[in-house]
Amino acid sequence: MNKSIVILISGRGSNMQALLEAKLPCRVAAVISNKADAEGLNIAKAHGIPTAVVSHRDHPDRASFDTALAGIIDDFQPNFVILAGFMRILTADFVNRYKGRLINIHPSLLPSYGGLDTHERALKDGVKIHGCTVHFVTPDLDHGPIIIQAAVPVHCHDTPETLAKRVLREEHRIYLQAIRWLCKNQVELNDDGRVTLRHRKQIGFALISPSLE
């Protein structure tokens, strides 16, 4: 029986759209947003996916919002909860409720550049390689066990917008791959918090930026 996922969004949800358009070996049970005007809800409806809204503005604090959100998620009984541009910091109780089942994508090569404005910060620091990371969510923000990463070169004339566009292309690729692995039981989260991939070979090549002569 195919596994199921619930996707959480706050806006348009380009990663969500990429997931919906892919032939994933799982069922998308629902798309849930904390904003009623999130464009991604209309995209989900166009794909025939059930949607729900749990507005954080209707709750006095983060804990009560998370409790309400968890109640809606659990109605769909998903195997995994996928964060796709969900712009809320989740409480430790919520994260622990879905331990090993809560997945996020972040626009940097974690553990570098956790938090916001990752592309601006990378350019300011002059890094030559940037990228994105899919990871299990833990109470330690943007520091959960890493499933997969993609690296891209940083060009000398990049702006935050051009760099973000290059990274986003890779986000759409690796998030699909991570969820495929999860739904096929090919990813294992060990007791020590390390991720192993079953039956996967790792290719030993380097991305060097700027390139060697």
The answer to whether the peptide bond before residue 111 is cis (omega within 30 degrees of 0) is yes
SS3 (DSSP) at 37: coil
Closest by CA position to 34, among listed 88, 109, 78, 71: 88
* Contacts for 124 with CB less than 8 Å, ≥ 6 apart: none
Look up residue 47 and give its two tokens.
């794909």
- Hey, how many other C-beta atoms are within 10 angstroms of the C-beta on 162? 14
Provide the annotated active-site residues: 106
* Contacts for 213 with CB less than 8 Å, ≥ 6 apart: none
Distances (CA, A) of 139 to 5, 48, 90, 95, 98: 21, 33, 8, 6, 11
